Amino acid sequence: MLGIVLAALGLQAAILQQDAIRRILAINVLGVGVFLVFIATAYQGADAPPDAVPHALVLTGIVVAVAATALALALQRRMESSDVDADDE
């Protein structure tokens, strides 16, 4: 439930925010929301052990999300440094 709310918040912010850093963060929030929903699906009742497959998948997803965030931040830094260069000229 919380996951769905987070995902919705993230989606809304990712579309509405103008600032690139905020957008990157918003997409991360969206991702966490989706991961939470996925983890919640592992629940199989109070007695049964949770299903392990969603955990493995979410772990992979987190790795991918970290890589993507790093790339986005690197690109953003390149843009900002080229802004500075343009001001110097």
Partner 1 sequence: MNEAMALAIALPLLGGLVAVVCPRRGHFIGNLTLLLNAAAAVWLLSLVMQHGAASQLLGGWQAGLAISLHADALSSSLLLLTALVGLAISVYATRYFHSSQDATRFWPLWLLLVAALNGLFLSADLFNLYVTLELLGLSAVALTALGGKRESIKAALRYLMVGLLGSMGYLAGVAILYTAFGTLDMQQIGARINVNPASEVALVLMTAGLLLKTALFPLHFWLPAAHSNAPAPVSAALSALVVKAGFYLVLRLWTEVFPEAISPQGAVLIGALGCAAILWGSWQALQAERLKLLAAYSTVAQLGYLFIGLALLVSVEEGVTRDILFGAVVLMALTHGFAKSSLFLAIGVVQQHAGHDRIDQLDGTAQRLPATTFAIALAGVALIGLPPSGAFLGKWHLFSTSMEIGQWLLVAVMGIGSLLAAAYVFRVLGHAFGNAAFASRPVNVAAEEWPALALGLIATLLLGLGGAWIWQFLEVVA
Alpha helices, DSSP H only, in 41-51? none
Alpha helices, DSSP H only, in 1-89? 2-16, 20-40, 52-88
CB of 77 to partner 1, least distance (A): 10
Q: How far apart are CA 1 and CA 24, in angstroms?
A: 23
First to last CA, the chain: 52
Reported residue count of the chain is 89
Q: Which is nearer to partner 1, 47 or 78 (CB)?
A: 78
Q: Which is nearer to partner 1, 5 or 83 (CB)?
A: 83
CB of 34 to partner 1, least distance (A): 5
| Residues binding partner 1 (CB under 8 A) | 7, 11, 14, 20, 23-24, 27, 30-31, 34, 37-38, 41, 53-54, 57, 60-61, 64, 67-68, 71-72, 75-76, 78-79, 82-83, 86
